[in-house]
Amino acid sequence: MADKPSPPSCNTGVEITGLEMDRDTYVSIDTMHITVRYPFVDVFRKYAHLIEGVSSRERIEGISFGEYLIRGGGNGYKVSVWCGDARAYLTDEVDSKRGDGKGMGIHLQLGPKFLRKYKDDLYKAVIHFLRNLGIRKEYPMRISRIDLAVDLVGISLNEVKVLDWQEGWVGHSSKFSFYTERRNMETINIGSRISTIYLRIYDKKLQARSEGDLDYWQAVWGDTQAPVTRVEWEVKTIAACFLALEDFKEFDGVRLRQLANYLLTWGRLAIRSDEDGNKTRWKTHPFWIEVEKVVKNWIGNTEGVLSREVKMVQFSEGYANSLAGNITGGMARACPDDPTIDAMFGALEEFGITNAKLKRDAREKARRYRIENAKLG
């Protein structure tokens, strides 16, 4: 068994220069997911043995270790280390075991309290968090998901009829669902959990009360007794091709506000008009007018809309090795006694796959890449 490490501290070492709770705006990042390209297994080993042999209940509830909780993992990661609502997911499936560029690294999930507290110097706070875990150098970090949230104080979700959402949503996603509890409509979902952009509208007070942190959010909102409806976009930044958001070190408020500009064009709630079949001309619903008002006030003078770009597959060493493997496999299958390129192409022609057809298909794929780039932009 590995030596028991000294308990790390949750203190990031980052000085908070502004207010922890920004009451001038109700727009914030609710969750951020970051992948750290950490290639070694030492940090995993440092914490994994602390939950070896414990029950499933203990793995869920967590084992106290200084200011941290050590819990089970998820999504392929075997253990997680929690500091408040910031957590690091660890695994031994890293580059030093799998090969250069093939490991899973470390996955960070940052919650709203951490993000609000260190919003003025988030990168530095994350670096300190990692150093407290035992990572002394800086490694490349990619943002894989951002949840951008808008809190509408004084507006109840129940003020909007379910039929309004079903008939009045105008945008890229048509998939719609809602969830009810205790005779009150609690959540509207537009899109699906596997969508690159997924919108949730829900009763934030009800959620905060169920999770036991209503007092925290009451302080954020100014101790209001009014209802609070949250509008929250879940954006899978890599899958959605927001390349400008991938590099966490380059992340800043301008890019985030340009993302918000894009999300306002992604879809809106409108008032259905049976006289006009063109949904783009439908009047915006009063509920969505409030959403736009809050977001635009937060965006301020920030110009530009974050673009979506198709990332072309580069002729990297990894791609070259993969392609070479497919070609040599085809040569061997086409003529095991004398595997050659000509033999492979001859075998392809027997199935109607000629050199001319391959060229046509390649040109068509290149054309589609160009069109997709134009659409996303």
Residue pLDDT, tens place only, 26-68: 899 999 999 999 999 999 999 999 998 889 898 999 999 988 9
The answer to whether the beta carbons of residues 90 and 43 sit under 8 Å apart is: yes
With a cut of 50, list the residues of the chain below it in pLDDT: 1-2, 16-24, 374-377
Length of the chain measured in residues:
377
Q: What's residue 158's pLDDT?
A: 86
Q: Examine the domain organization and report whether 280 and 321 are in the same domain.
A: no
The domain of 128 spans: 1-8+17-22+30-139
Single residue among 115, 139, 163 that ends a domain in this structure:
139
Per-residue model confidence (pLDDT) at position 355: 84
How far from 292 is each of 82, 109, 174, 263, 297, CA to CA, in Å? 35, 28, 20, 10, 8
In this structure, the answer to whether residues 299 and 191 fall within a common structural domain is yes
Could you tell me the CA-to-CA distances from 92 to 48, 71, 73, 134 in Å, in that order? Answer: 9, 16, 12, 15
Please indicate, yes or no, whether residues 162 and 198 belong to a single structural domain of this protein.
yes
| Claim to verify: residue 210 and residue 87 sit in the same structural domain | no
Q: Are residues 294 and 204 in the same domain?
A: yes
Q: How far is CA 34 from CA 54, 70, 102, 198, 249, in A?
A: 28, 19, 17, 18, 11
pLDDT at 184: 56
Residues 120, 252: Cα–Cα separation, whole Å = 10
How many structural domains comprise the chain?
Answer: 3
Residue ranges with strand state E in the chain: 27-36, 63-65, 68-74, 77-83, 86-90, 106-110, 141-153, 169-171, 176-181, 184-190, 197-203, 228-235, 267-269
Rg of the Cα atoms in the chain: 25
Per the rule left: phi > 0, alpha: psi between -120 and 50, beta: everything else, 106 is beta
Looking at the structure, tell me whether residues 152 and 285 fall in a common domain: yes
Statement to judge: residues 153 and 283 lie in one domain: yes
Say yes or no: 108 and 203 in one domain.
Answer: no
**Nearest of 336, 318, 333, 360 to residue 103 by alpha carbon:** 318
Given this model, what pLDDT does residue 2 score?
A: 47
Q: Which residues pair with 89 in a beta bridge?
A: 80, 107
Residue (of 46, 258, 227) closest to 133 by Cα position: 46
Instruction: Say if residue 192 is exposed, middle or buried (CB neighbours under 10 Å; 0-12, 13-18, 19+).
Output: exposed
Name the residue type at position 203.
D
CA distance 303 to 43: 42
Same domain membership, residue 243 and residue 174? yes
Q: Which of 278, 309, 340 is the last residue of a domain?
A: 309
For residue 195, what pLDDT is reported? Answer: 84
Q: What is the pLDDT of residue 16?
A: 41
Query: How far is residue 338's CA from residue 345's CA, in Å, rounded to a whole number?
Result: 13
Domain co-membership, 50 together with 172? no
CA 102 to mean position of chain CA atoms: 20
Angle at Cα 84 formed by Cα 43 and Cα 299, nearest 5°?
110
- pLDDT score of 373: 54
For 330-372, the DSSP string reads HHHHH-TTS--HHHHHHHHHTTT--HHHHHHHHHHHHHHHHHH
Do residues 23 and 222 lie in contact, with contact meaning Cβ atoms separated by under 8 Å? Answer: yes
Q: Residue for token digits 């409806």?
A: 229
For the purposes of burial, counting CB atoms within 10 Å of the CB of 62, is it exposed (0-12), middle (13-18) or buried (19 or more)? middle
